[in-house]
Amino acid sequence: MIKIIQNDATYQKYLARIDEIFDAEQRTDEGDELELLVTLVRLYEQETFPFPSLDPIEAIKNRMSDLILKNKDLEPIMGDPGNISKIFKGKRSLTVEMIRGLSEKLGLPVEVLVGKSNKELA
């Protein structure tokens, strides 16, 4: 029986089960179980291991490094090199369209890209 995660033992058990049924087809008993376990694990992780606020620009740069991307690769989303430079230096803000495009291209949550940059926090 699946229950709310209240301790590390249950968390580890659910992670192991997720590994076992990771390739389950949607709309099957195992697929439903997988979806439920992933939801419970995500909730437990958010409550137990909170992430510090991420600087959107640093998150973009880190993800670009992970994906081996250069500023030029972001031009279709962020505009010309001068515009990208201004954004990376904190002189210009990301637009809603840029946030959507970056989220899709880089796989970053919109919430991270909307967050305040370190320059704005100072």
Residue 74 contacts residue 99 (beta carbons within 8 Å): no
Question: How many CB atoms neighbour CB 64 within 10 A?
Answer: 17
77-98: average pLDDT? 95
> For 118, how many CA atoms within 13 A lie in the half-sphere containing its CB?
8
pLDDT by residue (tens digit) across 3-40? 999 999 999 999 999 999 999 999 999 999 999 999 99
pTM above 0.75, yes or no: no
pLDDT by residue (tens digit) across 34-62? 999 999 999 998 888 866 667 899 999 99
> What are the contacts of 4-8 at 24+ separation with CB within 8 A?
4/40, 5/40, 5/41, 5/43, 5/44
Take residue 33 and report the two structure tokens written for it: 């179980």
